[in-house]
Amino acid sequence: MSSLTAIFGNSEENSQDSDKLMDLYWNRAELKKAFAGMREEQYRLQDRIKEQEGATARLQQKLDHLESLLVDPEWAHNVVVYYRFRGLGHRCEGKLAIFAEQLKQQREQKKHDSALVDWNEQREDEARQIKTRLLEKHEAIHQLEDRLQAEQRQLTSMSSFRRMFRGRSVMKSIDDIAERIESAVQEMRSLQDDLDDATNREPPDHQGLDVDAKRSINLMIIAFAQQLYIHFADDGIAGLVKEATEKSVGAINYGNQYECEQLLKKIQTSVEKLERATDFVDVLQRRAQLLGEIAQFSGPSDAVPISGTVATVFRIDPNGLVSESDRNIVGRNYWAISKVFSR
């Protein structure tokens, strides 16, 4: 045996060596897997660095371009006007976004309150019905108890002779009445549990808006966007605001220093007028109604109207007279309206 062991080795030692080899194999496989993952992460980070370097380079080009415009006397005033227009555009976007959010919250709260009122009425009606059944059951138990007492008095008042002939039927009647009382008591307990459940029931979760409500909200959003457009169009700067949000600085020439200063004054005056104008709720509602008469939707589940069907701008004067003009506020995405629609 010793010679065989020397040649082939001990089986236990062979098993241990085999386990060590398997461990080394799996460790090497795991290391290769981890290394491959690290290489992928390295490549991903390198790509992100390249993207960031490209973005930084583009930003630097913009800064260099802006600097060259600012040091140029003929363009410096144009730059100021350009960013005032852009700022005005962003201001209008913010007003529209706030209006849309407040409108959505109001409609959601109104729907929730209405649903809560309906739920409370249903719950109270259910509780009233249960209370009525409880009173009826209580009255029935009271009558059964009176009958039980009468039967028991009858049994105790019987003579021995009469009890021999009628005692068994009276006892059966007593047992029947007792069973009916027990059953009625169980029903009362069940009804009381139902009443407790109805009384302590939690209100339903807040439900979202349906398609009709979303469409109504979106029509009001378009009405408000048109209101902003009309305000600045009347001052002759709506198109300039839109242009500044779409083009880069230096791509628009607003004229010489005097012309730029006049534009800045016009912007300031128009903004002040906008901030003072607060009593146009009735106008928005009327305009939304008019938009609803012409709006079309791609499908029954779509809440945003087809842009071409609401491309009519409705002007409503203080006397309620309506005039129309063409301007696709939705299609041209005035005031970033696409971001605030209820969908």
- The mean of the pLDDT values for the chain is 84
Q: Is the pLDDT of residue 205 over 90?
A: no
* 280-337 pLDDT tens trace: 789 999 999 999 999 999 999 999 999 999 999 999 998 889 999 999 999 999 999 9
Q: Calculate Rg over the CA atoms of the chain.
A: 42
* 77-115 pLDDT tens trace: 999 999 999 999 999 999 999 999 999 999 888 888 888
The tokens 């005035």 sit on which residue?
334
Which of 21-35, 87-101, 183-197 is modeled with the greatest confidence?
A: 87-101
Q: H or E element: which one contains 316?
A: strand 312-316
Burial 272-307 (b: 16+ CB within 10 A, else e): eebeeeeebeebbebbbebbbeebeeeeeeebbbeb
Q: 40 or 5, which is more confident?
A: 40
Identity of the residue numbered 146: D
| 3-state SS assignment for residue 7 | helix
Quote the Cα angle for 80-81-87, to 5°: 90
Please give the average per-residue pLDDT across 250-271, as a whole number: 92
pLDDT at 115: 82
pLDDT at 144: 84
Which of 15-19, 194-198, 284-288 is modeled with the greatest confidence?
A: 284-288
Identify the CA nearest to 217 among candidates 292, 117, 156.
292
pTM: 0.67
